[in-house]
Structure 1
Amino acid sequence: MAKCTNCGKKISFGNAWADSLCPDCKLNSQRNNALLKGTDELLRNQKAKRQDEERAIKAEINAVLLTTETAPNLNITKRIEIVTAECAFGMNIFKDLFAGVRDIVGGRSDAVQRRMRDSRKTALYELKREAHMVGANAVVGVDLDYVELSAAGSMVMLVASGTAVIIEGTLD
């Protein structure tokens, strides 16, 4: 007689030929598979729900950003607080090497420019998010500062700051 590959119980030749599991182990295997399918579906649903929530939050965070304190048709009804966002980014050694060569021979470094553009977009989005979290719908007096962190190798930190405010009306 054959033995169950899972628990070692003796099983009939027909079961050994089909899947090498005794009836108990086969039932447990089917239950486990059903649980795994249910868990996978639950995880997919949770992920989809989380993505929907993130999209809704991104749509809601649509603060106006201005580098000035005032603008035509801008009526600030309340100044809330100063908000900041920081974005630290590093360049890998190959990008730094080619940027160094560009310094010597001249020209623009697309990799460095792309990295700085992405960090600016990230920092400004985070600034909008911070403003949204304190109940503002605009940030005025926005300032961007780039700081080289030489102790950390080739790291650059971008700090975005401004005043979170509530405005009424729209910018035309």
Structure 2
Amino acid sequence: MPEPGNILILTINDCPGYRIVRVIGPVYGTSVRSRNFVGNLLGGVRAIFGGRQSGFINMIAQTRDDAMLHLAEHARSLGANAVLGMRFDSGEFDSGQGQAMNEITAYGTAVVVE
């Protein structure tokens, strides 16, 4: 069984080595981030001349990690100790002030395993 307080998060729909004793239901965690003006400007220059967009890559990785933390918190709050079938969904939207916002949602099915 996962350590108390830890949530086992799997992308598969079963939990090898464990027995599912209760299905709680859907859980999710969402994170939204934006780059600052300077980061957007430098990213735009790199896009023109080509090159790795490390600032954007780091921001997306941090956003994804935050979404997974929120997913685990949601599952834990419902009494789960595992999340199965975890997936990501992502999008971008305008904040209304010309600032692009990146959103990532992690979702899956909260369960109790033994």
State the TM-score, normalizing by the size of structure 1: 0.59
Counterpart selection for 1:69 from 5, 10, 13? 13
Larger-gyration structure (1/2): 1
State the TM-score, normalizing by the size of structure 2: 0.86
Residues of 1 paired with 2:105 and 2:26: CA distance?
13
Alignment of 1:1-172 (within 5 A): 61-152=5-96, 153-168=99-114
Determine helix, strand or coil for the equivalent of 2:26.
Answer: strand
Q: CA deviation at 1:104?
A: 2.0
Q: CA deviation at 1:73?
A: 1.6
CA deviation string 1:122-156 (max 9, x = no partner): 11111111100000000011111111013542101
For structure 1, the 5+ residue unaligned runs are 1-58
Q: CA deviation at 1:92?
A: 1.0
Q: Kindly provide the amino acid, as one letter, of the partner of residue 141 in structure 1.
A: G
Residues of 2 paired with 1:104 and 1:74: CA distance?
51
User: Which protein is richer in helix relative to its size?
Assistant: 1
Q: CA deviation at 1:83?
A: 0.6
Structure scoring higher RCO (CA < 8 A, sep ≥ 6) equals 2
Matched residue pairs, number? 110
User: Which protein is richer in strand relative to its size?
Assistant: 2
Determine helix, strand or coil for the equivalent of 2:51.
Answer: coil
Percent identical across equivalent pairs? 32
Query: What is the aligned-residue RMSD (CA, Å)?
Result: 1.7
- Structure 1 segments, 4+ long, off by >6 Å, are none
Residues of 1 paired with 2:53 and 2:4: CA distance?
35
For structure 2, the 5+ residue unaligned runs are none
Tell whether the 8 Å contact from 2:15 to 2:84 is kept in structure 1 after alignment.
no
Residues of 2 paired with 1:74 and 1:60: CA distance?
15
